[in-house]
Structure 1
């Protein structure tokens, strides 16, 4: 190591090196004369970098003429130490590492074999050619990859273009299929309509004759009753008795056989793609038939059973500034998962997080009845004592403020969304137990034949299945759940021993119906066709209100049992 240091003292000095400056290769003979001249060539036999002047000795002295001179190569900064910005003059064979004079002194002092670069370079004469071959091979492969990426990109564009060409072709085939379908359905329905129209015309003509005959006979009877003697009245009665009975039987027979013509089209679950002849295949089933009003179709339940797993629960007790024991008559989830509740007894609105921790509240001046979440930060609440619907803003920080009040014509209890702009609202003491109310307060009736019955507070609740236009109405005292099909003005009546005093109702997974059965302490799951699917026993008495989160994953239930009121949260773990 001492020899290395000694030689370093007579080599080119790099003490004036400045960080970031490329090290200049100096002529070594000139350096020994304290001159700093840029080297032009390198002589491997002399083991020196020389300038053009010093290298002339190779042309003067015969023994030097056999020396091989090469141009001094610009190493592009690779000949300098990255740490000390000095020339890399040594190679540590122990650690297989290039080093400058400072590295040799500081970092490799204890190493046994630190040699000058020219000496170790001679031992690996062919290393450079091997390195060159490896780099050329790497370059060639990289160029091949670049070429591959270009061809792959072009092929991808072609493949994508071919997909859209195929889609265009399929669209044309599908359009032709539906054009042919239009022709087919038009032909069949026109023929059916003509047949029905003819039958209806015959039915009408027959009944108009019955009306005419009845009118004539009524005139005779009226004349006899008003002006005839008892004997004349008796004669008329006996003479016309047979005709009246026959007329009555004919009309009654027509009435009993009163038919409704229906037309519907239901697509197959799987449509066979063209090409094919529409006469040989229709992508669905066209049904043309007559049905009597009393006819009922039995449909097997296909709804999956909803399973509930308890997450948490809290007891609802009189506390703080509550005047009375709480009674939550309305529940609904906000889209972000927070639960909004209305306390009928203490005139309050409350917000709970996913752990049923109360995070917000708002004091009202009246007793609220129900609530529905309209959007991310807006809810609507009803009241049995006021003819109005209030709209409240619920901020992300759980602040509640009144936005506006909408006046209505009836007292309202339950409320739910019918569509994006309308509510379905359960009324109180009204022959129309459910009404449609717009966001601005405009009211109209459902096209549904409700029973002529009024419901007082707490005896009925409603909800609406938007996907199938079905309205659910509970009748507490009749132990009945009604499922109205708004589109067809038909209904299904659900009565079962598992349903006793049904109260609140919600729409669950797969648009099933979840009903609070108060006297059986359970949540009953019903299909839209009225089939009882399952019944889940609750750890509470008299379940009263139920709601389901927007993503159909969480269920909240509360009850109305004096002294033991609770709020339960369940996770829908799946279906079977």
Structure 2
């Protein structure tokens, strides 16, 4: 606002002091015209000429105009709770230094910024610099949302941890009748260890939750102030709040995000050793089982590079990469089922090798430094290709098989794990010579069709993972104990490809949510990442 009728100190409360309110559209043209109207819809002070546009344009005729003095009275009465005052001099903020990006009172402008080239009135610059949406508010909202997610995660994890601990006595009771003399002491020992682990974990989480609740409270309070200013304050007041809270928003978001990135999922399980032989010493010294503590951290996926698959050269159709893997040196290998090709890309995703196949390939797996194996579905073969350091691709050998294979991965040096289709066995073991062996686990009684299931194998812990696209399920089979976990969650819709990720966790392509979902070996959802791709496949 520009003042007329003298140069009184800014904080003096003089009766009948006159304030000229300047037209904001005129200010944007570097013209100073006294405003006599205020548009409640445009949230803008306007002079007579500018406000008359409301009578000319049909789209503006529904806007409500009031006298400028009425709007000023409302805004002057709005309590900024000290945010409109300079921290150093406690005077009303009226200026903004564009050189140093600082709000100033009249004293600041004269004393601290006299050498700056661009010190302008807040009233003149607020309308120009204000964005349609409050970036500070968005950051506080993001902080509030992330803080709520942390608290929800902590509470949910605590509940799951409590359930895990409480399941241990049930596991122990299954064999209690066989070794009743030993189990009383066993239960005391195991529960004590589990509870000790739980208490240590809860102590850490309580601290995180307490810190997060403080951050949540701070973010909520500031959001209330921002909402109030945007509902009742002037553009200048809104601008001041944005600037005053800019650092708070950044710091709060950083603090909450640090806690969010450090979230972890913890579980406790007890596996009993069924080969137990009665020892000639105290059960507390010999525990017939293994207490396993599982701590998994959610991973963060960061885009590195990407390519658009387009029909080029001798392609007969737009490429569809139904299989993908990485060679040990970082080169990416893929199979294009529509154009019957095996392709090699470098780390920049530049195509450096191509090989024409005689059949539509389905999946590919790296099996050595320079070797890959490819499944072919209806051709009843798997082929071994050699990819040299120069990216020259040659056929090593072809192995005939008796079933239709889709996904494939190494089980050990002599065997593969393959996914079937048009078969009631979703997966089996195949030797290098093509001989089949079944897993000694009970699979669902149904027939799988092409592209409706995929499997992988973790040889470090003998875990077989199977996806079922139609049922939106992930099965995790522990081959050693002949047990399974069935994972069903809203984050997993139409699961397709599956692979072993960091720390032996499992990564799932969720077609229905366009995301990559990370789960633990015990079936806990650790993280879910939306990706800039529709229908992730492998």
- After TM superposition, the score normalised by the length of structure 2 is 0.48
- After TM superposition, the score normalised by the length of structure 1 is 0.45
